[in-house]
Structure formats: structure tokens, C-alpha cells
Structure 1
Amino acid sequence: MRQRYLALLSVFASLPAMALTFQTRLESIEWTVEGDKFECRLAQPITDFGSGEFVRKAGEQATFRLKAYNPMMGGGSATLLAAAAPWQPGRDDINLGTVRVGSGNVLFNSSQVQAGRLISGLMDGRSPVVRHSSGDGRVSEVRLLPVRFTKAFADYQGCVAKLLPQNFEQVKQSEIGFPGGGIELDSAAKAKLQVMLEYMKADPTVNHIELDGHSDNSGNRLTNRDLSRRRALAVMEFFKANGIQESQITVRFHGERYPVAPNTNNVNRAKNRRVAVRLDRGAPAEQVAPQATKAATSATS
């Protein structure tokens, strides 16, 4: 292992003089793992620069981002590499394409594919490298090293295992279907609602639910309006049975007025039999609009 480290040092010492390289000294390399149910981060601090971080949000794959204390790179684009390890001669660097470099604290976020290949490279002893060329020909590089990565990655995987199934952008809206034409929640509907419920319990700032019931045009308008009301109430009862207060729920029902597909065949009509569910980071329950609260109350009478 010491020979590998010495080989690394010799390679870095042989870089062209015109290339400004940021990296942490070999003996000071560390990886940190932080996270919660919403996001996991695996980072290597970079001396005099900032850090390189793999970030995985709930419901998504990881991306790689480069953070800087100061805007040390100009704008434009940079090349992202999985650089070959010096103790494995005969292997070339893997060019993972370009990234757009900004001027803020976070210089860029890679694609999920690029991040996945960087992680695979680190497991294989490769170094993530960001290479940026300025207009006057100056080259700057930021390099992370694979030292101690395997243990840190195992800890990161432990964090990932605890992530919620979806993040807020993915979970905040859902369509609950009633394909059979009734008012009962089927297993697919309950599974969708359970994911939303799990997120609400993990994030107390998400404290309001809006329910909009809909029907197809199979019956008369009064019957359809009542069906849409009862479907919305079925969803409300699911949330109430799982600890959500009725004062946090707004219920509206529209009958056949707002189809998502023309009511011209059975498949389309099934799509229109639905309840649209929306989660909000809104006002406390006691501040919910009076008209909306009244609608929920009258619908249950």
C-alpha cells in the first residue's frame, strides 16, 4: 500500500507546471458521511479549495458536486475524469464528459450517470478529477483520492438504506384511481397514500393535504358529483385513520367537470375516476381557508 501512495505522489509531482492542482495531502485524506431520511452525502474535503461530494436524495440516484470556498474556477465547462491509478500501469483515464461550471459555492452538479461511474472508478482505485481550462490557456485541476474510500462507502450505503422512498418533489402530488367505478381504495391506491403518509410523518413542515375528487360521465351530474365527493372522503378517512387531523385536510369534489381524458371509452373513463392528492408546506391547520374547511365539513354530513 505504501508503494501505491509513493506512486501517487510521484505522479502528482510530475504534473505540468502550468496546471494548478488542488488536492489533499495523502496522509490527511478523509471521507465524511452525513445524512438523514431525506439526503445522504459522502464527501472528501479538499485542502485550500472546498470539497467533492456525492449527494443522494430520497427517491433518486447520486450526483457528484464540487463545492468551493471561493470562486477559484472561472465559468464555462470542465472535463470530468475517472483518472487511472498510478500503481496500475497501462490503464487510461476515463473521460466522463463535461460539466457546466458556475460561480457560486456549488460549482456544478454532475449527472447521475457520471456520478455512478465515478463511484465505480473509486472502488477500482481511480480518482475523480475535474479539469478546467481558462481562456488564456491556464489549466486547473481538482482531484479526489480513493484512499479509505471502501469503508466510507459502506457507511454511506448504510445511510442510503434509511432514505425515504421518494423526495418531496416526487411525493407532493399523486392521482388515486378508482378503476372499478366504486369508492373503495384498492391496494395500489393504499400503497401510494402510504408513501405520502410516511413522508408527512418524517417532515412536519408538510402539514396540509388537498383532495380533489373526480368522476367520469357515466351517470347524471348529481350522481357523479356525489361519487367524486365519496371518493375524496375515502382518501380523507385513510389519512385520518393514520393520525392526520381532519383540520389539515381540504376536500373538494367536482364530478365530471375536469376529465383528464375524453370520456369516449372504458379506459379513459377509468382514468377520470380519481382523487388528486396534493401535499403542501402550508399554514398551520388553524389557518386553513374557512371556505375549504367548510367544504370538508359539509361533505361528511
Structure 2
Amino acid sequence: MARRIQKNRSLLLGALPLSLAVSLPTLGATYGAGIENSQWYLTESVFECSLVHEVPGYGKAVFRHRAGESLTFFLESASPLMKPGRGMLIVEAPAWRPGVAPTPVGTVDVSDSNRPVSLNARQSRQLVQGLLEGMRPTVTRESWYNGQPVRVQVSNVNFGGQFRQYQTCSGNLLPVNYDQIQRSRIPFTSGGASLSSSDRQLLDNIVRYVQADTTVERIFVDGHTDRSGSRIDNRALSEKRANVVADYLKAQGISEDLIIVRAHGDQYPASRRPSENRRTTIRLQREGERPEFQQANGYGGDSAG
């Protein structure tokens, strides 16, 4: 057994950069589920799909896929076991598959938050591929307390079945999430008040989201202009721009009771560039969210809508 441990340690050190390898005098602490207690859990909705894996003694390993975004991965732990800095991510064979060399994925940033390791879409997909091939992704980083390495292993046992269900979930996700469409902007040409195909696509995404999220209680639609016309003409044009957006939302099935239309003319410029002031903004408000009070002057941003 001691010989096997030493062999595994040699494989790990061979995959690490020299600056990390020379600083790992012993195996340190290793956290990971075995065959008997490796479980994956899928939580699914049209807003998000998450695959959660319990890592005994450490916390959780989570694949997360939000609507409108790519798959990501993070480790979550209530206690900061890893020292902030650069750690190493490899995909290695589990103990019951001796002789298979580990594959380095690269370095990872380790923070002092309760999610010390977060991976981008490319690295997350590499982890998925390794798990599907029966391998075990492992993050290694120096301990906060004694300088020895902390190894967090992600088990492939019971992953495949849950991942197939995740794929079905991800295929049913909405095209956007709340953060992406909470504040949206429709630009207009000088004097114009018509919607382009890209404008309609944006509004269609807003409609799909609002119809799925029953906590959205208000949709503020605010029309604006540049300062090229008279105040009276600009006020009328901004109302026309707001109404063309509101009418489209209603035609696609959004209740009129949700929509609040406001017209501001050239009163609240968003920029010194006229083209950026010819706009209608759409802001969603959920239950429990306090309306924002913004200064309605200068070039700092939009009005309250």
C-alpha cells in the first residue's frame, strides 16, 4: 500500500510545475468520495441546471449552467482549507484504475471565499469529459495551516446517469437569465420609432423570461430622445418610442397590467453622443425589489426607468 501511495504521489508531482512540486513534502490532506458514498444530485428548472456532488469532509463540487450562459464549475467549502494563490488541476485515474497517468488541465486561482475555486467553461468541459471517461478531477493547493497540500477529488461514480439528465435540462433552459435582461435598451435612428429584427429578438427573450418568472411584477418602459428637436416634439417622439416597445410586448402576451410606460423627451441624456440618447429602456422589477431612485440629470445614466 505504501508503495502505491508513493507511486501516486510521484505521478502527481510530475504533473505539477516545479515551483509547486518542490513545496509538497508530504501527501497532506485528501478529500473525496469513495465508491460507497459517491452521489450526484441534479436540480433543474428553466432558469438553471446544477449538478451537485458532496465531497466528504470538504464541502461540495458543483457544475452550474444558468440560462443564457455556459457551463461552469466551482468548489464550495464552509471552511477555508486552501491558502489563496495558484493551485493545480489535474484529471487522474481513481485508485481502482492503477497505471493510468494523470492529465494536467492547468493552474487555477484559489481565493479565500466560500467558493475558493471557480472554473471557466473550457475547463469545466474538460472536467466533464474526464468524469465521463471514468477519471477523477483533482484540485491541489497548499494548506492554510501547515503548508502541506490539500487535495480535493471529484468522483466519477454515479456521474454519467445524472449528466444525461442534465443535458436534457440544459436543452430546456431559457435563452436569457434575469441579470442579462433586467435592464435592456432599444436604440433608434434619428427621428425613428421602428423596431429592427434584433430589437424584436431581444423583446421576444424578455417576453419568454417574464412569462416563466412569476415574481416579475413590473416592467418599466421609458422612451428618450436626443436634443435635436423642440421639447414638445421630443416629448411626443419619446412617447412614440416607448409605446412601440410596450405594444410589441403586449402583442406577444405580456399583460398590460405589468407594463408602465413613461416618456421623458430629452430630459435624461445617457451620454454626450446623441445616438446613445435615442432609446427606449426596459427595466424589470421583481417582487421584493425596492425601486431605485436615480438622479435624473447629467450624463451618469438613465432615469428611474
Q: TM-score range by the shorter chain?
A: 0.7 to 0.9
Residue 73 (str. 1) matches residue 81 (str. 2): yes
Residue 34 (str. 1) matches residue 43 (str. 2): yes
Secondary structure at the residue paired with 2:235? Answer: helix
Name the structure 2 match of 1:279.
284
Once the two structures are superposed, residues 224-275 of structure 1 have per-residue CA deviations (whole angstroms, 9 ceiling, x without a partner) of 2201111101212222334434343232222234254534xxxx3xx54321
Name the structure 2 match of 1:244.
254
Q: Does the CA contact (< 8 Å) of 1:183 and 1:230 recur in 2?
A: yes
TM-score normalised by L of structure 2: 0.76
Once the two structures are superposed, residues 7-56 of structure 1 have per-residue CA deviations (whole angstroms, 9 ceiling, x without a partner) of xxx66995596422111122433322221111111122223333211111
Name the structure 1 match of 2:52.
43
Residue 170 (str. 1) matches residue 175 (str. 2): no
CA shift at 1:218, angstroms? 4.6
The Cα RMSD (Å) is: 3.1
Name the structure 1 match of 2:273.
262
Q: Distance in 2 between matches of 1:123 and 1:12?
A: 27
Q: Does the CA contact (< 8 Å) of 2:42 and 2:52 recur in 1?
A: yes
Once the two structures are superposed, residues 175-196 of structure 1 have per-residue CA deviations (whole angstroms, 9 ceiling, x without a partner) of 1133374333333222111111
The 5 Å alignment of 1:230-241 reads 230-241=240-251
Match of 1:202 among 212, 236, 241: 212
* 5+ long unaligned stretches in structure 2: 10-24, 294-305
Give the 3 Å change call, closer, same or farther, for CA 141–272 of structure 1 in structure 2: same
Once the two structures are superposed, residues 58-112 of structure 1 have per-residue CA deviations (whole angstroms, 9 ceiling, x without a partner) of 11112212233x51614423624132326485644314212323353x4443333
Q: Does the CA contact (< 8 Å) of 1:79 and 1:99 recur in 2?
A: yes
Name the structure 1 match of 2:16.
none
Q: Which amino acid aligns with 1:110?
A: L
Q: Distance in 2 between matches of 1:251 and 1:12?
A: 70
Once the two structures are superposed, residues 134-169 of structure 1 have per-residue CA deviations (whole angstroms, 9 ceiling, x without a partner) of 252222211112234333222111111111111111
Give the 3 Å change call, closer, same or farther, for CA 13–144 of structure 1 in structure 2: farther
Q: Distance in 1 between matches of 2:233 and 2:150?
A: 69
Q: Does the CA contact (< 8 Å) of 2:28 and 2:150 recur in 1?
A: yes
Name the structure 2 match of 1:157.
167
* 5+ long unaligned stretches in structure 1: 1-9, 290-301
Q: Which amino acid aligns with 2:125?
A: G
Secondary structure at the residue paired with 1:28? Answer: coil
Match of 2:67 among 37, 53, 58: 58
Name the structure 1 match of 2:119.
110
Q: Distance in 2 between matches of 1:72 and 1:220?
A: 61
Residue 84 (str. 1) matches residue 92 (str. 2): yes
Number of positions where the alignment pairs a residue of Structure 1 with one of Structure 2: 270
Q: Which amino acid aligns with 1:35?
A: E
Q: Does the CA contact (< 8 Å) of 2:89 and 2:137 recur in 1?
A: yes
Secondary structure at the residue paired with 2:176? Answer: coil
Secondary structure at the residue paired with 1:120? Answer: helix
Q: Does the CA contact (< 8 Å) of 1:211 and 1:252 recur in 2?
A: yes
TM-score normalised by L of structure 1: 0.77
The 5 Å alignment of 1:20-31 reads 20-31=29-40
Q: Distance in 2 between matches of 1:246 and 1:43?
A: 40
Match of 1:147 among 152, 157, 161: 157
Once the two structures are superposed, residues 106-145 of structure 1 have per-residue CA deviations (whole angstroms, 9 ceiling, x without a partner) of 4443333332222233234432112121252222211112
Identical counterparts, % of pairs: 32
Give the 3 Å change call, closer, same or farther, for CA 283–102 of structure 1 in structure 2: closer
Bigger drift between 31-40 and 17-26 goes to 17-26
